[in-house]
Structure 1
Amino acid sequence: MTPSDPRPRVLVAGGGVAALEVVLALHERTAGTLRTTLLSSADRFRHRPISSYAGLAGDDGRTVDLARFVAEQGAGLVCDRLTAVDAAESAVLTEHGGRIPYDALVLATGASPREGLPGAITLGAPHDEAALAALTARVRAGTVGRLAVVVPAGVAWSLPAYELALLMRHAAPAGATAVEVVTAEVRPMAVAGDEFSDAVSALLARRGVRVTTSTWPDAVDEGRLWLPLQGAVEVDAVVALARSVGPSLPGLPCDAHGFVLVDARGLVRGERRVWAAGDVASHVVKQGGFAVQQADAVAEDVARHLGLEHLSAVAPHPPVLRAALLDGEDTLYLRAEHVDGTIRTAVSGTPLWWPPTKIAGGRLSAWLAAFQARDGGAAAGSELLGAGGA
């Protein structure tokens, strides 16, 4: 705080879904009582929940000018990259030599994709987008006989692998392409519970997608997928999910993969003024719907610690898992939450939340819809997923 402006300084680092959710949640909870600044390496935000599928599913790739976004929230914008945190002095260091002080810091810088399997196309990696687009064109032309989609060991949120397999199967001419998912999981989507897994497995079976579990290939080489027990399996193409790594930020406690260690409320371990939300935090599941819930919990905790909401021992809100699985024909909606020590799951072909966006919950989806409506965009609401929405 400064004598000229006594409002607490909140710095939100990041330019993705979690960062924007934090800014929106802070504004809603404490409008006018904070000096919020967004620190982002980019000056624009591209909302792209399904654009990594190379045109297999509709995606308008809507883009938002961050200066306009923060202005509407009464916040400021600094375009630079965070490189280190000096928690003892309550300041961050940036790539261009800046030093920004804070009274509260929220890290929402995300994770970086790394190669999931040597020799495979990596889903979600920018450098492999052209290769995935070329593969999609070959699948549609019927020239790919066998396609494998791989979930490497250590990847907890595997839904994109099953979604890609279903979309590729739908895109291929009838009988042209055999699609198989090879996963290190004991069963598809095991992290979400048995009922969730059963629903995904049943859909895969109906669409003719084969699944091999408890297997993690070694590499792809010259049209062969090398499996530890089966040996070489002939394939025409292989796509693997990326392995996520964190930024290993100097000055903060991080796990072996570079993710910032946090408690259930998102407060960084051993710190009193630093929080983390989204993929940068050491949560096992990296998923957009979880990220927006984490952002809201962090904003609530920041407000309490700054004395703007009642500071009490409020129990963390149990996360609710919401996932929309596209298969090229329809959308399968799945919802799972812990209730009385068990996982309660709902599965439906009709929306289980509203609006039925790919990244469910939070404030950003509503803000984006209003943003496009104000701009007269014909694509307003085009992220909504309904029957045949893929």
Structure 2
Amino acid sequence: MARPKVVIVGGGFGGLAVARGLARADVAVTLVDRRNHHLFQPLLYQVATAALSPAQIAQPIRAVLRRQANAAVVLGEVVGIDRENRLVLTADAGPIPYDQLVLATGASHAYFGHEEWRPFAPGLKSLDDATAARRNILAAFERAEIATDEDERRALLTFAIVGGGPTGVEMAGAIAELARNTLAREFRHIDAASARVVLVEAGPRILPAMPPELSTKAEAGLKRLGVEVRLGAAVTLCAADRVEIGPDVLACRTIIWAAGVQASPVARWLGGDVAVDRAGRVRVEPDLTLPGDPSIRVIGDAAAVLSAEGRPVPGVAPAAKQQGAYVARDIAARLGAQAPSGPFRYRDQGNLATIGRGEAVVDLGRVRLSGTIAWWFWGIVHVFFLIDFRNRLSVSLDWIWSYLTYGRSARLMTEAPPRRRP
């Protein structure tokens, strides 16, 4: 008798948690992803700012699952789902049949109806995004070094980050440190330390998911690094040579988008009768199944999940991992003719954000940390969750070296600096 086929789309935190949770189940697991690697997204900003190399925060999916005999990996791009015949349709590998399907495809950037901003304000969701951002940031200093026009030089040394969540805060602090500490004495015609880093947040404070006092401390930490924090300021235009913030015009050549996300095209794959929230995330049942179709589960950033208290579950890595582990247990129980696992319950493990060298903020509910102790806690947590021991070791050594020397080990531009955009 053939083993039940469990197909997982997406090799992120949630998808891998499902696959690994089914390691001992009598099922045939197929994990489909358009990229061959699992990515530790919380540290993408460190690749973008030359603190880490791409290989330190990514691991080939096949390597992760190499010892799991019941798991196979398919490199391919999903283009649709045939729910009637239970097939996942791919552009590269043909149709893949399933008995149980888990969609864990994550999210992409949301530009709030202004898709025309995307070429000028790229976000940070993939290794390609991070290496492109690193190239653009480093190239801005190189182009400023040879610029003869003072206005152009100032614009090149101005960096705008849109969005005051963890990604925006961490990017702003990292760029400021790169300019003021790492590059400060390496150029002869510019003062790299004079670079202007502007963090733009439409809301009344940065890190809105954290308690107000930690937001205040984070803002103070950024300002100590020289970051300009603009609150209550909505971006009205992103262009090749400027960003407009309300009535103000900020001349700049580098814009990083960290302001919002939208779900991957899961709802479109599933059909027009699927309910979604404003971000396009699929509304699921308390057991994370698709309403009316218990053979399909949607997890992570692709799903609109409510906690037991009725609050939206945040789109963070711990939530995706918890959902993946829950789904694996539930699938194993149902296929083994055991009682279902009951509704999914999210355990909030807190929020963390680093501001710069030796400074971070941590919200663990009753325990709130800031400053150096929070920075060490943040580092230990992130190293712990890296999927491979070798990566944990290399990241730890790089962070220690950077802490002692202010150096950054991954300042390579593997392509020619981009020409100035028209």
Look up the equivalent residue of 1:58 and give its one-letter code: L
Q: Give the structure 1 partner of residue 364 of structure 2.
A: 336
SS of 2:198's equivalent in the other structure is strand
Q: Give the structure 1 partner of residue 120 of structure 2.
A: 120
Gaps of 5+ in 1: 152-156, 338-342, 373-378
**CA displacement, residues 299-328 of structure 1 (integer Å, 9 cap, x when unaligned):** 23333333476535356133323434252x
Question: Contact 1:108–1:279 at 8 Å: present in 2 too?
Answer: yes
Q: Give the structure 2 partner of residue 56 of structure 1.
A: 50
More displaced stretch, 53-62 vs 180-189: 53-62
Q: Quickly say closer, same or farther: Cα 1:311–1:202, change in 2 above 3 A.
A: same
Q: Quickly say closer, same or farther: Cα 1:35–1:222, change in 2 above 3 A.
A: closer
Look up the equivalent residue of 2:318 and give its one-letter code: G
Look up the equivalent residue of 2:255 and give its one-letter code: V
Question: Contact 2:21–2:328 at 8 Å: present in 1 too?
Answer: yes
Gaps of 5+ in 2: 146-152, 185-192, 306-311, 409-422
Question: Contact 2:162–2:256 at 8 Å: present in 1 too?
Answer: yes
Alpha-carbon distance, 1:276 to partner: 1.8
Q: Give the structure 2 partner of residue 376 of structure 1.
A: none
Higher relative contact order (CA 8 A, sep 6+): 2
Separation (CA, whole Å) in 2 of partners of 1:223 and 1:84: 38
Alpha-carbon distance, 1:124 to partner: 1.6
Alpha-carbon distance, 1:189 to partner: 1.1
Q: Give the structure 1 partner of residue 227 of structure 2.
A: 209
Look up the equivalent residue of 2:5 and give its one-letter code: R
Q: Quickly say closer, same or farther: Cα 1:97–1:146, change in 2 above 3 A.
A: closer
Q: Quickly say closer, same or farther: Cα 1:221–1:261, change in 2 above 3 A.
A: same
Query: Does residue 1:304 correspond to 2:333, yes or no?
Result: yes
Which of 132, 135, 145 is matched with 1:133 structurally? Answer: 135
Which of 324, 348, 368 is matched with 2:388 structurally? Answer: 368
Separation (CA, whole Å) in 2 of partners of 1:43 and 1:314: 32
Alpha-carbon distance, 1:37 to partner: 1.5
Q: Quickly say closer, same or farther: Cα 1:165–1:300, change in 2 above 3 A.
A: same
Question: Contact 2:353–2:378 at 8 Å: present in 1 too?
Answer: no
Q: Give the structure 2 partner of residue 146 of structure 1.
A: 158
Separation (CA, whole Å) in 1 of partners of 2:48 and 2:169: 15
SS of 1:162's equivalent in the other structure is helix
Q: Which has the higher helix share?
A: 2
Which of 255, 266, 287 is matched with 1:238 structurally? Answer: 255
**CA displacement, residues 155-177 of structure 1 (integer Å, 9 cap, x when unaligned):** xx821111111111111146502
Alpha-carbon distance, 1:187 to partner: 0.8
Separation (CA, whole Å) in 2 of partners of 1:181 and 1:333: 17
Query: Does residue 1:39 correspond to 2:46, yes or no?
Result: no
Alpha-carbon distance, 1:12 to partner: 0.9
Question: Contact 1:21–1:296 at 8 Å: present in 2 too?
Answer: yes
More displaced stretch, 80-89 vs 271-280: 80-89
Separation (CA, whole Å) in 2 of partners of 1:171 and 1:96: 41
Q: Quickly say closer, same or farther: Cα 1:296–1:324, change in 2 above 3 A.
A: farther
Q: Give the structure 1 partner of residue 61 of structure 2.
A: 66
SS of 1:192's equivalent in the other structure is coil
Percent identity, aligned pairs only, is: 22
Question: Cα RMSD between the aligned structures?
Answer: 3.5
Q: Quickly say closer, same or farther: Cα 1:227–1:56, change in 2 above 3 A.
A: same
Q: Give the structure 2 partner of residue 154 of structure 1.
A: none
Q: Give the structure 2 partner of residue 375 of structure 1.
A: none
Q: Give the structure 2 partner of residue 166 of structure 1.
A: 173
Q: Quickly say closer, same or farther: Cα 1:98–1:239, change in 2 above 3 A.
A: closer
Separation (CA, whole Å) in 2 of partners of 1:26 and 1:300: 8
Alpha-carbon distance, 1:294 to partner: 2.6
| TM-score under structure 1 length normalisation | 0.77
Question: Contact 1:254–1:260 at 8 Å: present in 2 too?
Answer: yes
